Structure 1
Amino acid sequence: MPQLEVDGARLTYDDEGPRDGAGAPLVFIHGWTANRHRWDHQLAHFSATRRVIRVDLRGHGESDGSGRRSIAELAGDVLAVLDHLKVERFVPVGHSMGGMIAQTLALGHPDRIERMVLVNSISRMTYSRGRGLLMAVSTQVPFKLFVATNIQRAFAPGYPREEIKEYIRTSAATPREVVMTCYGAMRSFDVLDRVGEIRVPTLMIHGYYDIQLPVSQMLRMAKAYPDAEVRILDAGHELPVEKPEELTSTIDRFLTERP
């Protein structure tokens, strides 16, 4: 369980797989209130043939530190770990907020990105008037209720309730200050007008039942990308744990079959 101190926080990460494996290293970036173990299935699969790195974002999982107030600052943390590991070119794979971080890295450091995978992610947070009001009100409820409500609705109908309760428990263990500052960072994230600059092949994988970041918003983003491939899976917002095998095979095909 290696750690790196970055701006007063100890960031925990994994670095596994052969250094001389096929292709650039894969860098898995988890979402809001989650941790690097969201990618357990992908780590086990891909580390057999290539280098795989995953990070607990600041204040999440086994990393400490206070929350970052922008996606750009979170991207800076990830880049600091990669610089420490002397990783130049890489493939960011980001889920939800992690996908926002991946896009920020691609825009800020295009020469370092070989290709990119976005899982249940978007380029601009967009709300109807009613949903915007609901989300604003939701921040005023007790913290545990706020987290539980957001995590509960992230899963597709029929997902086991006991497993959802465990993810709620893990998310609620994330410090309140980290949860709320990252929540604000996501709400203010907007690079939709710039994603046309991202020229690398990009795979966008989304859950059909995602009501957190709806498919319609992802498709709007996809149209703005010069080189985007879209896959819709039978899941909600938590694809890495709802459909781990299908997600892994979809990423694998993109990495091996796409020139």
Structure 2
Amino acid sequence: MPIELHYVDTGGDATPLVVVHGLLGSADNWRSHLKQWQRRHRVIAVDLRNHGRSPHVAGMGYDAMAEDLLALLDRLDVSRVHLLGHSMGGKVAISLARLAPSRVASLIVADIAPIAYGHDHDSVFAALRRVEAGQPTNRREADALLAEHVEESAVRLFLATNLERSDQGILRPRIGLDEIQDDYETIMAEPAGEGAFDGPTLVLRGAHSTYVTDAMLPKVREVLPRAEVETLEAGHWLHAEQPAAFQAAVNAFLERVER
């Protein structure tokens, strides 16, 4: 049963650009990009289940997350979209494109391949659990708790976007951490659906990321046969590390598709 996702909609009449965040992200992470894209497009950014302001429910299967997104498009009376997904959100986007190809005018996949991964987020989950237990009352305290498990300051800043203040003044994770951890293996699995999506596709990858290596490109071509592959001088969070280059690549692709 699909759930009602929280979303941000800039409004407009053109074919929307729908933005889907990655694991432990949210629509809020894309605010600066939305400000730029809304000059040219209607933009809809979503919070996936167990993320941001969307409900917490059991199950992180890509078929279920794609159905959540389709249900939102139906509620908004949107028939076709340009669909952009980063990391886990890229797998959701690929799943939707395979399951309902008539709804996807074009597909943009940011630094993820349609394969199963073996990445380990144990330190990230441990850091968020430490914040839960430590009950910090300010961002400095929260960062110190996160730092017990995560050394990189940029990663801690990203994780801190998942914290909200309770009525008692305590900062705590707003994500469905139990639900995410319980179904973590499913998140690491391949996207849902079968066969190929043969619509216009752009795959953006980071030159300093290991998520879309040259060895993975045959599988990318198998699932996304029309994919244009572009490499940016960035790591996995390429939209945050190289925002101008990311914007330019997305804009150029959408211009080509909409001619």
Change (3 A) 1:67 1:43: farther
Supply the AA of the counterpart residue of 2:176: P
The CA distance in 2 between the partners of 1:18 and 1:10, in whole Å, is 21
Provide the TM-score with structure 2 as the length reference: 0.78
Supply the AA of the counterpart residue of 1:222: V
Secondary structure of the residue aligned to 1:226 is coil
The CA distance in 2 between the partners of 1:209 and 1:146, in whole Å, is 26
40, 43, 63: which is aligned to 1:52?
43
3, 10, 16: which is aligned to 2:10?
16
Per-residue deviation, 1:181: 4.0
* Contact 1:69–1:184 (8 Å) recurs in 2: no
In structure 2, the partner of 1:84 is: 75
Aligned residues: 230
Unaligned runs of 5+ in 2: 130-145, 164-172
The CA distance in 2 between the partners of 1:46 and 1:75, in whole Å, is 23
TM-superposition CA deviations, 1:52-72 (whole Å, max 9, x none): 111111121122222423111
* Contact 2:112–2:212 (8 Å) recurs in 1: no
In structure 2, the partner of 1:223 is: 221
Supply the AA of the counterpart residue of 2:116: M
Q: Percent identity?
A: 27
Per-residue deviation, 1:12: 1.2
Structure ID, larger Rg: 2
Per-residue deviation, 1:123: 0.5
Per-residue deviation, 1:199: 1.1
The CA distance in 2 between the partners of 1:118 and 1:66, in whole Å, is 25
The CA distance in 1 between the partners of 2:62 and 2:89, in whole Å, is 9
Secondary structure of the residue aligned to 1:115 is strand
In structure 2, the partner of 1:177 is: 178
Per-residue deviation, 1:257: 2.8
Supply the AA of the counterpart residue of 1:251: V
The CA distance in 1 between the partners of 2:79 and 2:243, in whole Å, is 28
Unaligned runs of 5+ in 1: 1-5, 154-160
Per-residue deviation, 1:119: 0.3
Secondary structure of the residue aligned to 1:199 is coil
RMSD, aligned α-carbons: 2.8
Per-residue deviation, 1:116: 0.5
The CA distance in 1 between the partners of 2:78 and 2:70, in whole Å, is 9
Secondary structure of the residue aligned to 1:257 is helix
Supply the AA of the counterpart residue of 2:21: H
* Contact 1:122–1:218 (8 Å) recurs in 2: yes
Change (3 A) 1:233 1:67: farther
Residue 126 (structure 2) pairs with residue 144 (structure 1): yes
Residue 180 (structure 2) pairs with residue 189 (structure 1): no
The CA distance in 2 between the partners of 1:57 and 1:190, in whole Å, is 15
Secondary structure of the residue aligned to 1:116 is strand
Secondary structure of the residue aligned to 1:11 is coil
Between 1:57-66 and 1:81-90, the stretch displaced more is: 57-66
* Contact 2:7–2:44 (8 Å) recurs in 1: yes
* Contact 2:60–2:187 (8 Å) recurs in 1: no
The CA distance in 2 between the partners of 1:215 and 1:142, in whole Å, is 23
Change (3 A) 1:142 1:247: closer
* Contact 1:34–1:61 (8 Å) recurs in 2: yes
